[in-house]
Chains A and B, each alone.
Chain A
Amino acid sequence: MTAYLIAVGIVALIYMLLTIGLNLQYGYTGLINFGVVAFFAIGAYTSALLALHGWWLAPAFVAAIILASIFAYPIGLLSLRLSDEYLAVVTLGFSEFVRIVLQQEEWLTKGVQGLPGIPRMFASMGVGGYADVAIFATLVACNAVAIGLMLHLVRSPYGRLIQAIRDDEVAVEAIGKDPRRLKVQVFMLGAGLAGLAGAFYAHFITYLSPDQFLPLVTFYVWIAMIIGGTGRTTGAVAGSVLLLVFLEGSRFARDWIPGVSEVQMASVRLALVGLGLILFTLYRPQGIMGSRR
């Protein structure tokens, strides 16, 4: 049971990195990114492929962060020309584009077969047990650094300006400030975090295939952000933990819901997650951690 909880915790911490990144992009800057999973996938495949080619994990992780950010650059530039809704469509399209490329470019990604045998983090500590604890601890440390940076960022003059962009971009230009540079930077920062999350995922799961990177992942991240509290850094923490409680907790729902088959259960779980989200928006629209002040 402990091993299971640690594994669930690892996934929650990976989602936490994604949620912190999205919260920076949407919660603080107002950029609607419906393509979170694209940068997650780019990070995962980058790190996995490099590791399979004999790279050490540390530089592979760094490469994952950098490559995810680089791919975010053109999308960030597009965000300057598109209004919110269109950016949502473009990012969603981009994430599907990335998935299809991963599926089709078999010479690189082995397509739908997927990439097996990706080196596991802390493999020298043996499978499961201590290695998982070490992964968990590393993720906690990474999240702590990300949260610390984010708390500092949103209180800094830089953070003040991105929040002004979220509130009213026309007014930002009227006071002589250029929102464009900051929007691109924020988009790349968030994507870099997603790339890091992807690398952790790849070297924890050790097998990657394109169907792990469906838009559903993006929407899980949005759910985590919304139930935690949009525009609250601590909300990302609470939200991603609660998301996993829902996702994993509903696994045991069959114990107390009679007459549901194994196959039906998958749908019931999703329905429970949906119901949870609806109840949340009804009774706690500002999220667990509340809105600002």
Chain B
Amino acid sequence: MSTLLAATGVQKRFGGFKVLDDVSFEIEDRGLVGIVGTNGAGKSTLFAVVSGQLEADEGSVSFAGHDITGVAPLRRARLGLGRTFQVPREFAHLTVRENFLVAARCEYGETLRSVFGGWHRVDREQRELRARADGWIEFLGLARVAGELAGSLSGGQKKLLELGRMLMTEPRCILLDEPFAGVNPVLVDEISQRIRELNATHGIAFVIIEHHLTALKALVQHLYVMDQGRVIADGDPTAVLAQPRVLEAYMGGVI
């Protein structure tokens, strides 16, 4: 299979502090890749560089055959590279359904012209989108809260909402930043199952940052371990997590 997303030799400094030091990783089309590492290892910074919120000092990022280094986040999203955030960024004053709808590609309804005319065209467009949104809402088990304001959801529900919002953009790859953080164990299994299904049936590739090692190990095919801004190991999840180096860095030598 071909490489879908790759970061090569990424460096990022904040002042004198090197947050990312020559980091490279890649994911194949339809792949499932995990990234683990202690707090402050640079995982979220790497996501920000890959999805364009931060610009790398050095190195490059490519996606689906395009060099996307220096490309604005919204263009990366349009190419099919989506992300969720560690702290959910829901549109708090919109309902859950509206959060889904706003993410869909909307040709006519989002032009100022559509406010003044062509209302039938808007209605037709919205009917189709609503059907799609309701499908994903059902799939993610958010149907009961679809009419609620997104700001009133629980932490776990917000994670699902962000994932669903991304799905509305019809992505080829989604970067998930700690999808299991603050989520109860039952919901962890539930979310894992949804990710597997999306990967198997829709061919969506996932890169997942997560501290929940058991769940992650069961989910991904390939695992990267980061420590102090570097990738210190990568490979088969079970094998990688057994390496003494990884144990020491990640568990702080406790085990």
Using a CB–CB cutoff of 8 Å, the interface residues on chain A facing chain B are 149, 152-153, 156-161, 163-164, 166-168, 170-171, 173-178, 182, 185, 189, 231, 291-293
Contact = CB atoms under 8 A, between A and B. Distances in A.
A117 B92 CA distance: 51
Of B109, B125, B168, most buried by chain A (CB within 10 Å of CB) is: B109
Interface of A is mostly: helix
Contact of B51 (A161, A174, A231): A174
Q: Which 4 pairs of residues, A with B, have the shortest CB-CB distance?
A: A157-B109, A176-B77, A171-B89, A167-B91
A231 B78 CA distance: 30
Contacts of B92: 167-168
A45 B102 CA distance: 40
B102 A164 contact: yes
Interface in B150-195: 165-166, 168-169
B238 interface: no
A156 B113 CA distance: 11
B112 interface: yes
B89 A160 contact: no
Contacts of B166: 175
A173 B74 CA distance: 5
B82 to A, nearest CB: 7
A166 B151 CA distance: 13
A176 B75 CA distance: 6
Contact of A156 (B82, B91, B103, B109): B109
A185 B115 CA distance: 12
Interface in B5-57: 51, 53
Tier of interface size on chain B: 35 or more
B83 interface: yes
B50 to A, nearest CB: 12
Given A171-B85, A173-B72, A157 B77 contact: no
A163 B94 contact: yes
A153 B111 CA distance: 11
A170 B53 contact: yes
B109 A158 contact: yes
B117 to A, nearest CB: 11
Nearest to B73: A173
Nearest to B170: A176
Interface string B110-133: 111011100000100110000000
A185 B122 CA distance: 19
B6 to A, nearest CB: 20
Contacts of B102: 157, 160-161, 164, 175, 177
Contacts of B89: 168, 170-171, 174
B93 A292 contact: yes
B112 A185 contact: yes
Given A168-B89, A231-B93, A156 B114 contact: yes
B70 to A, nearest CB: 15
A167 B94 contact: yes
A161 B74 CA distance: 14
Contacts of B111: 158
B115 A158 contact: yes
A172 to B, nearest CB: 8
Nearest to B162: A171
Given A158-B110, A174-B83, A177-B74, A167 B115 contact: no
Nearest to B108: A157
Given A168-B89, A173-B73, A156 B94 contact: no
Nearest to B51: A174
Contacts of A291: 93
A176 B77 CA distance: 5
Contact of B91 (A158, A171, A182): A171
A281 B168 CA distance: 39
Contacts of B74: 173-174, 176-178
A72 B53 CA distance: 28
B106 interface: yes
A164 B83 contact: no
Contacts of B116: 149
Given A158-B110, A158-B111, A175 B103 contact: yes
Nearest to B168: A175
B134 interface: no
B234 interface: no
14 contacts: A149-B115, A152-B115, A157-B101, A158-B110, A158-B112, A164-B91, A164-B94, A168-B92, A170-B73, A174-B53, A175-B168, A176-B77, A182-B110, A293-B149
Of B102, B126, B166, most buried by chain A (CB within 10 Å of CB) is: B102
A183 to B, nearest CB: 12
Nearest to B88: A171
A160 B126 CA distance: 12
A176 B115 contact: no
